[in-house]
Copies of this chain bind each other. A is one copy, B any other.
Amino acid sequence: MKIIVQKYGGTSVENIEKIKKVAKKVIAKKEEGFQMVVVVSAMGKTTDALIDLSKEISSNPSKRDLDMLLSTGEQVSISLLSMAFQEYGYESISLTGFQAGIKTKGPYNKNKISDIDINKIKDNLEKGKIVVVAGFQGINEEGDITTLGRGGSDTTAVALSAKLNSLCCIYTDVEGIYSVDPRIYKDAKKLASISYEEMMEMASLGAGVMETRAVEIGCKYKVPIYVASSSKDIGGTYIKERDKSMEEKVITGLSISSDILMVTVNNLVFNSDNIATLFEKVAKENINVDMISQTSPMDEKVNVSFTTSKDELNALNKVMKEIKDENNEIEVVIEENISKISVVGIGMMNQSGVTAQVFRILADNNIEFKQVTTSEISISYTVASSDREKAVQILAKELNL
């Protein structure tokens, strides 16, 4: 019998009424003859509320305890959803991350799935039960409850699909993947399909629909992923291996990220050891660095800039204090109102001129960018957040997205 993994995010299970709707949607699919695994996130804003609660105790709470705290959110949803199935006359079993065999490693709050022991899930599917799995969480080698970071429920769903050889359906509050975030550009087009590579770029560049890591796992294990609305019954977007039709299109989408910080370290004595040390210190605090740029040396000194997520502000301040304490000539500037705009498309690999075209559009419209980075299939610019709106409208229009 074929297995389907469905994942429902926090908005889709934010209250009892919605949980019941999810149950009915899953049951409809089961009635078509599929074995069903359902991955759920915490109800609505539960995770944020729990984080707020922890902040009342400490501005920088223990990360192990934070994982312990946050993981309760999904445990509540799985038990309620499982109750709903039983209320409708279907057998089900709710499983926390550790019960579902999800083993993780890495730093707390940002663990990665290292393996899944799929036996318990398979046994229960064989018994005809709907299996309800807590997203976002697992257990590490020390037996600690861990979480996978924001968007971690997607990762759980895709990783389970990989192990179960199944389709992975991500039901969410958007209707699929758009060329541009429709909240920002209202004429954005919904894509019928997108390649893993493009989606990874889009995700890592800020398109809020799916976490990069989840798509990465999908790509690695060739898991077909379907992203669609949890409330409306209309077609969504398939994320799959790239095919010819996709390559004809030069640019697939525009991705916008507003939650970023730009850090500039001025007057750093120029030698590679110095710069390596800087980033080692940053890495030690588990801060993910995104774009890096460096000025040419002048008087044997350089300025190094990098971007990171706003969430890292606490950790970042700590590292920067250390660095300044060691060398008081160094000056650190942290800019908070920075946005990143990225143009993504597999077609860019085989077609030159896109970079030039984008530079031209920005220049003609007096939009100043602070940093540029490029990959095989994307170009990213950081701009002042005040220029974001304008830049998106113009780029989306000019590139026909």
Contacts and interface: CB of A to CB of B under 8 A. Distances in A.
A68 B94 contact: yes
Interface residues of A, number: 36
Nearest to A78: B68
Contacts of A76: 50, 53, 69, 72
Contacts of A54: 79-80, 83
Central interface residue in A54, A65, A96, by most chain B CB within 10 Å: A65
Given A54-B80, A58-B86, A83-B57, A71 B65 contact: no
Nearest to A72: B72
A61 B78 CA distance: 13
Interface string A58-80: 10011011101101100110111
Most buried by B among A69, A79, A143: A79
B72 A75 contact: yes
A398 interface: no
Interface in A227-258: none
A145 interface: yes
Contacts of A93: 64
Contact of A83 (B20, B61, B71, B84): B61
Contacts of A64: 93-94
Contacts of A79: 54, 65-66, 68-69
B68 A53 contact: no
A133 to B, nearest CB: 12
A96 B96 CA distance: 13
A65 B53 contact: no
Q: How many copies does the complex hold?
A: 2
A192 interface: no
A56 interface: yes
A65 B78 CA distance: 8
Contacts of A82: 62, 65, 68
Interface string A139-155: 00001110000000000
Contacts of A53: 16, 76, 80
A314 to B, nearest CB: 14
A87 interface: yes
A69 B78 CA distance: 8
Nearest to A145: B96
A69 B80 contact: yes
Nearest to A76: B72
A99 interface: yes
A62 B83 contact: yes
Given A65-B94, A86-B62, A99-B143, A57 B80 contact: yes
B69 A75 contact: yes
Interface in A329-355: none
A19 interface: yes
Nearest to A68: B79
Given A57-B87, A96-B145, 11 more contacts: A16-B57, A20-B57, A53-B76, A53-B80, A54-B83, A57-B80, A58-B87, A66-B79, A68-B94, A69-B83, A120-B143
19 contacts: A16-B56, A16-B57, A19-B57, A54-B79, A54-B80, A57-B80, A57-B84, A61-B86, A66-B79, A68-B96, A69-B75, A69-B79, A69-B83, A71-B75, A72-B75, A72-B76, A75-B75, A96-B145, A99-B144
Interface of A: 16, 19-20, 50, 53-54, 56-58, 61-62, 64-66, 68-69, 71-72, 75-76, 78-80, 82-84, 86-87, 93-94, 96, 99, 120, 143-145
